[in-house]
Amino acid sequence: MLGHRGCRLIITFPEILEMQVTAIVESVINCRRKRIKALPEIMIPLVGISQELSMLRRLVEQTIEHVKRKKKFRGKLEIPIGTMIEIPRAAIKADKVVKHADFFSFGTNDLTQMTFGFSRDDIGSFLPEYLEKNILKKNPFQTIDISGVGQLIKMAVKKGRSIKKKLKCGICGEHGGDPESIIFFSSVNLDYVSCSPFRIPVARLAAAQAVLINQLELFN
């Protein structure tokens, strides 16, 4: 999470973004010409400052147009451009960031790391003590920390949708397959969760239960 990576890397080396977006757009155009409806989304990682996303969005859009001209494609390519919210500052400034985003995806693994100042690389060296001594009730990398990380997500969704009412929001991380976390994500009106393939059945069941729980709360 720290250092020269994510959007920072492509601001200093924009050719990386140009190469990746070119590959995506060429693939979409090739699919369209074969009557295959490909629906990619471009997500810019590790944004913490709205100007980062504004600058890189312009570069993405310019690259898309360049490829269309090069491939002599005159049709519409509706490719949403969004960001992954992994840095607490991006969640706090979501109403500014959203002006340059078509969607938010919360990277809950890295957002948890940044919020707690923990590293998944060495959490095993002290987490058992934290759980045993009741400093933490659950592993925050398995079940979302509702009172901390969860509040950042809730705030970012609220701020983002205050500017764009139909903003698509979801999460990507291990929490996407955790039933307790999914119930929370449903309560803050996220549109989807993303998780590893083997956890999809559990995630689907938990999502259905979350809908029922939230409906019951409305009627009580």
Task: Provide the pLDDT confidence category of residue 83 given band limits of 50, 70 and 90.
Answer: very high
Q: Where are the alpha helices (DSSP H) in 71-144?
A: 88-92, 94-97, 108-116, 127-132
Q: 203, 196 in Cβ contact below 8 A?
A: no
Helix (H) or strand (E) holding 105: strand 103-107
pLDDT tens per residue, range 124-175: 999 999 999 999 999 999 999 999 999 999 999 999 999 999 999 999 988 9
- What kind of architecture, by CATH, is found in domain 7-174+192-197? Alpha-Beta Barrel (3.20)
Token pair in block for residue 106: 């919360």
Cα-based distances in Å from 186 to 5, 101, 180, 211, 214: 31, 22, 10, 7, 8
Is pTM beyond 0.85? Reply is yes
Taking only the tens place, the pLDDT of each residue in 17-59 is 999 999 999 999 999 999 999 999 999 999 999 999 999 999 9
Q: For residue 141, give the DSSP letter.
A: T
Kindly write down the DSSP assignment for every residue of 166-215, as one continuous string.
T-EEEEESGGGG-HHHHHHHHHTT-SEEE--GGGHHHHHHHHHHHHHHHH
Tokens of 138: 């659950």
pLDDT at 174: 85
Residue 189 Cα distances to 159, 161, 168, 175, angstroms: 13, 11, 10, 16
Helices 50-70 and 14-33 cross at an angle (nearest 10°) of 50
For 24, residues 6+ apart whose C-beta sits below 8 A from its C-beta are: 40, 42, 79
> How far, in Å, CA of 85 to CA of 97, rounded?
10
CB count within 10 Å of CB 172 equals: 19
Reported as a pLDDT band with limits 50, 70 and 90, residue 209 is confident
What is the domain partition of the chain in residue ranges? Answer: 7-174+192-197
